[in-house]
Amino acid sequence: MDPKFASEPPIKDPPTIVILVVQESLRHGLFNLLRENGYMPQIAANPREVMDLLRKKQCATVFVDCEVIGIYGPGICSKFKVSCQYCRVVLLCDKSLNAHRQIIKETMEIGIYACLLPPYEDWEVLTMVSYYPRMRSI
């Protein structure tokens, strides 16, 4: 074990994975990909459900599409991050759409973890959930 990590506690619970995606085919594709690779994603119907799922979790990844941000506003990403200390918000957008370009800009300014652009490759999605370093005590 690397000595610089010796005093850091391991993650206690497996990371929570939540999908809040309006596009049905994308939502089901993400869900199936994650399940096939041993993850247990949860599908949320609205931001309140996401925040309820994140409450008291140590770390999580939330996948949202630009349609969700268009409906609820980019500030919803900040609320997710407040609900879970180590929350990664991954935005799924199409930068060729002008409205999505603005959403990408606004959410990146808020500090989302990543933005994936189509076509979404399996390895890109899996990378978003596969690595959680040992968290430091704060």
- What residue segments make up the domains of the chain, in order of their start? 15-128
Mind listing the pLDDT tens digit for each residue in 54-83?
A: 998 889 999 999 999 999 999 999 999 999
CATH class of the domain comprising 15-128? alpha beta
Residue 129 is which amino acid? V
Cβ-defined contacts of 34-39 (< 8 Å, 24+): 34/125, 34/126, 34/129, 37/126, 39/129
Whole-model pTM?
Answer: 0.85
Write out pLDDT tens, residues 79-112.
999 999 889 999 999 777 778 888 989 999 999 9
